[in-house]
Structure formats: C-alpha cells, structure tokens
C-alpha cells in the first residue's frame, strides 16, 4: 500500500477565486498593505497557470474557528462560486484542516491555503532530483496534519492478525504511518545530497575563492542581477519563484580577484516552515557564504516588510545580519524611479556603507556594486608591496587570481605591485616567493 503523495492536483487553466482575509483587529508585527498582499496572491496563483476569475479582500473582525468566514459571507461567496463555475478557491493565509474541510463542503470546490499554493509552485518549478525530493518532503510534512479533510474512509477501523495495521488501527493512522515512512526515506536520500554538497564545498575551499550569495524576496531581481554579473542565462522572468535550484558562477572583481556568485531561491512572507526545513540543504549555501547580498525591490510598496521577511528567514537559518562585514543590501530597480527619487536614494546609499543602489536591468550602479563587494571581502586582508621579476609570469598570474591588485607599475625588469591577500593566500604566497614577508 502506498501513500498518495500528490499535491493539490491543480490543473492549468482551472478557474480560480483568490481571497485575502484581512483581520482588522489582529495584532500584527508586520504591517502590510492588504491590496499588495492580494496582488501577490494573484501573482502566486497565476504562477501555476490558474485562470483567476476574481480576487477580493475579505475584511474580518475575527477568524471563525470552524469556517474562517461568517455565514453571510460564505453564502454570498458560495453563490458566486456556483454561478462563475469556480474550480478552486485560493485563500491567502493560514487555513486549518477543519476550516478547509468545512469550506469545501459548503462550496463544493477545492480549497488551497497559502502554504498549499506555495508548495504547488515549488513542485512545478523543481528541476533537479534534489529539488523534487525537497518539495515532496515539505508537502508530506504539510499533508500529515491534514489527514482529517473530507476523506470519510479515514474514519474506518480495521483489525488484523498481522503486525501491519494492528488491532483497531484506523485508516487515518495507517496513512499517517505510511507518510512517516516516506518522510524517513526521503530524509535518507537528502542526507546523501548534503554529503555531496559538503564534498563540493571542500573542493572549493582548496581553491579559496570567496563566495557571494544573492538572497532576497521573490521577484526582487536576483536572477536578473546574477545574469548581468556573470553573463549567464539563468531563468529570470517577472514571475514569483522563477529560481529554485541554486546556481553558482565565477566572476572577477575590479582588482582581479575571482569570486563565486551564488543565486538562491527567493523568499516570501509567511514562508512555510516545512519548506524552510526541507530546503535547508540548499540554503546552507547561504551559511557558507563569505558575503550575503540582499537584493531588494526598492520600488515595491511593501519593500520594508519584504526586507523584514528575508531577515527573519536568514535568522532562522542562523545568519548574523548585523555583521556589516558579511552583509550588504542592494536596492534594485532604480530604473523605474523618478529622477528626484533616484538622486535622493543615491545620496542616502553613499552615506552608508551597508547599501548600494542599482538597476539589474540597465546595469546602472553595478560597477559601484562590484567595488563594494571587493571592499567588504578585502577589509580584513593584509596589503603588501611586492617586486616581481617581469619574466615571472606564473607568480604574477597567481597574484591576480588569488589577491586583489590595488596598484601596478611596470619597469624594464621589475613589476611593482600593491595587493591585498587573505591570511590563507598570504601563506601560499610566502611559499611561492620562498621568503618571509
């Protein structure tokens, strides 16, 4: 017997109704614009090719424990759902299993909450075996709490003379046990992936290029910036969660030092706990980074709340975002700002070392961005003045690959170089020059 590990079984083109419950009297730690939240939910729904027939903010004084909405609103929406031939209702917020079951009984359609919708998107976007396993793990963890939906067969008891399905074990208990077994199997498979990643990291440490990880709210422009910096063609569209699997490329900073740039999965408000846990192996690339670059859509109405959402996830992963030497904010999409707004933003970022303003689309500000990366990565390095024989091309090449050249003067037989080196590369340079520095 196998557990059904399918997701919500949403089909492209199904008619969808998107609802954003806004509770007026709720104590909210992050104030977000309800209309912006609704638009994001519509974008999430469109990301899996559902046909959004209507979207609406539902203002509530409080959430009803059994049905979320009041009786009058349920009847009103029920008439609309029937007359508009709605196939699925997306509720942009948490929906308990009991609320989901009761609403499905009232409306006779599928109900998908925010977590289920995000899981569906991740399931469609995962390209690698690792990504597919991570999504399945997240979905099973989520599904395990929802075995009480409207499945009447789960209420049956079954007895057995064998050890499988013991005396009086219900179908619900059997399904839960099967899910637990599948979760255990996936975790074993993912552990081998983690070991493979650790081997890759060990190889990278032998060639000690610093790692710069791009993080940010989904659709902030990370992949667009990654493509511009690396001349790559990573999938980047005006689409939520366009990137799931991390991509790494080598780039060269203005001083000649190579670094590894990593593009990671985008974050979102109320990112399901199951996803953070499942994608931890992938997100560990962020933990290993020498510098974390937080890409923000500075034009978004909720840019401040989005910033806090990303910081919350980073803290859940154990990242110290207060360390100014390892964290940099990139204020993206300045190309759509008015000239006065852009000038004001430039002035504010020039005063602070922790931010830089850019446009990933036009390239404006990216040279400053690269210099800022270089400054942060080399802040703790030692500056040396060297005299290298002009014919020693191998040593000169090594210096450019492993150090940051600040100044170079070529004479007839000698090349004078001023460069920065990390402690590790300083030791390697000592061996190459065969003398104490």
The 3-state secondary structure of the chain, one letter per residue: CCCCCCCCCCCCCCEEEEEEEEECCCCCCCCCCHHHHHHHHHHHHHCCCCEEEEEEEEEECCCECCCECCHHHHHHHHHHHHHCCCCEEEECCCCCHHHHHHHHHHHCCEEEEHHHHHHHHHHHHCCCHHHHHHHHHHHHHHHHCCCCCCCHHHHCEECCCCCCCCCCEEHHHHHHHHHHHHHHHHHHHHHHHHHHHHHHHHHHHHCCCCEEEEEEECCCCHHHHHHHHHCCCCCCCCCCCCCCCCEEEEEECCCCCEEEEEECCCECCCCCHHHHHHCHHHHHHHHCCCEEEEEEECCCCCHHHHHHHHHHHHHHHCCCCCCCCCEEEEEECHHHCCHHHHHHHHHHHHHCCCEEECCCCCCCCHHHHHHHHHHHHHCCCEEEEEEEECCCHHHHHHHHHHCEEEEEEECCCEEEEEEEECHHHHHHHHHHHCCCC
pLDDT digits 0-9 by tens, 265-324: 778 887 777 667 666 655 666 777 889 999 999 999 899 999 998 898 888 777 877 877
Instruction: Calculate what percentage of the chain has a pLDDT beyond 70.
Output: 80
Residue 200 reports pLDDT greater than 70? no
pLDDT of amino acid 201: 62
pLDDT of amino acid 132: 80
pLDDT of amino acid 153: 41
Segment 235-240 shows an average pLDDT of 52
pLDDT of amino acid 351: 67
Residue 9 reports pLDDT greater than 70? no
Q: Say which residue, 422 or 155, is predicted with more confidence.
A: 422
Q: Say which residue, 393 or 129, is predicted with more confidence.
A: 393
Residue 106 reports pLDDT greater than 90? yes
Q: Say which residue, 126 or 390, is predicted with more confidence.
A: 390
pLDDT of amino acid 112: 93
pLDDT digits 0-9 by tens, 374-388: 989 888 778 889 999
Give the span between the Cα atoms of 374 and 258, in whole angstroms: 10
**And the tokens for 228?**
């511009």
pLDDT band at 400 (very low <50, low <70, confident <90, very high): confident
Strands 110-113 and 169-170: unpaired
Q: What global pTM score does this model have? A: 0.74
Segment 31-50 shows an average pLDDT of 88
pLDDT of amino acid 404: 83
Give the span between the Cα atoms of 405 and 361, in whole angstroms: 29
pLDDT of amino acid 169: 52
pLDDT of amino acid 21: 94
Burial class of residue 66 (count of CB atoms within 10 Å of its CB; 0-12, 13-18, 19+): exposed
pLDDT band at 5 (very low <50, low <70, confident <90, very high): very low
**And the tokens for 68?**
């979320």
Least confident piece of the model among 34-48, 92-106, 191-205: 191-205
pLDDT of amino acid 150: 39
Q: Say which residue, 269 or 36, is predicted with more confidence.
A: 36
Residue 182 reports pLDDT greater than 80? yes
């Amino acid at each position: 017997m196998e557990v059904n590990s399918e997701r919500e079984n949403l089909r492209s083109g199904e008619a969808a109704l998107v609802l954003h419950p806004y509770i007026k009297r709720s104590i909210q730690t992050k104030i977000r614009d309800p209309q912006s939240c609704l638009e994001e939910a519509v974008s999430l729904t469109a990301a899996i090719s559902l046909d959004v027939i209507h979207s609406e903010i539902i203002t509530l004084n409080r959430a009803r424990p059994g049905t979320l909405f009041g009786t009058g609103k349920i009847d009103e929406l029920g008439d609309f759902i029937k007359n508009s031939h709605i196939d699925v209702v997306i509720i942009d917020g948490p929906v308990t299993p009991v609320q989901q079951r009761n609403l499905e009984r009232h409306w006779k359609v599928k109900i998908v909450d925010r977590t289920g919708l995000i899981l569906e998107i991740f399931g469609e976007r995962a390209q690698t075996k690792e990504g597919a396993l991570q999504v399945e793990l997240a979905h099973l963890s989520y599904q395990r709490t929802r075995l009480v939906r409207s499945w009447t067969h789960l209420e049956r008891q079954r007895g057995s003379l064998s050890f499988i399905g013991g005396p009086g074990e219900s179908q619900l208990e059997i399904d839960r046990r099967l899910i637990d077994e599948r979760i255990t199997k996936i975790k074993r498979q993912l552990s081998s992936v983690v070991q493979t990643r650790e081997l890759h990291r060990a190889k990278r440490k032998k060639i000690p290029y610093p790692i710069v990880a791009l993080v940010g709210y989904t659709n902030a422009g990370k992949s667009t910036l990654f493509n511009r910096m690396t001349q790559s063609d990573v999938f980047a569209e005006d689409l939520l969660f366009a990137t799931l699997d991390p991509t790494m490329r080598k780039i060269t900073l203005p001083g000649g030092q190579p670094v590894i740039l990593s593009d990671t999965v985008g974050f979102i408000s109320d990112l399901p706990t199951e996803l953070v846990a499942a994608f931890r192996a992938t997100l560990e690339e962020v933990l290993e980074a020498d510098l974390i670059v937080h890409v923000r859509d500075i034009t978004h109405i909720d840019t401040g709340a989005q910033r806090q959402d990303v910081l919350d996830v980073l803290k859940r992963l154990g990242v110290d975002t207060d360390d100014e030497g390892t964290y940099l904010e990139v204020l993206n999409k300045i190309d759509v700002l008015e000239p006065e707004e852009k000038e004001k933003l430039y002035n504010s970022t020039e005063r602070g070392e922790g931010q830089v303003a850019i446009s990933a689309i036009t390239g404006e500000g990216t040279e400053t961005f690269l210099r800022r990366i270089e400054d942060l990565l080399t802040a703790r390095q030692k500056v040396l003045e060297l005299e290298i024989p002009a014919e020693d091309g191998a040593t000169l090449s090594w210096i450019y690959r492993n150090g940051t050249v600040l100044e170079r003067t070529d004479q007839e037989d000698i090349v004078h170089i001023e460069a920065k080196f990390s402690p590790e590369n300083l030791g390697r340079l000592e061996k190459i020059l065969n003398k104490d520095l």
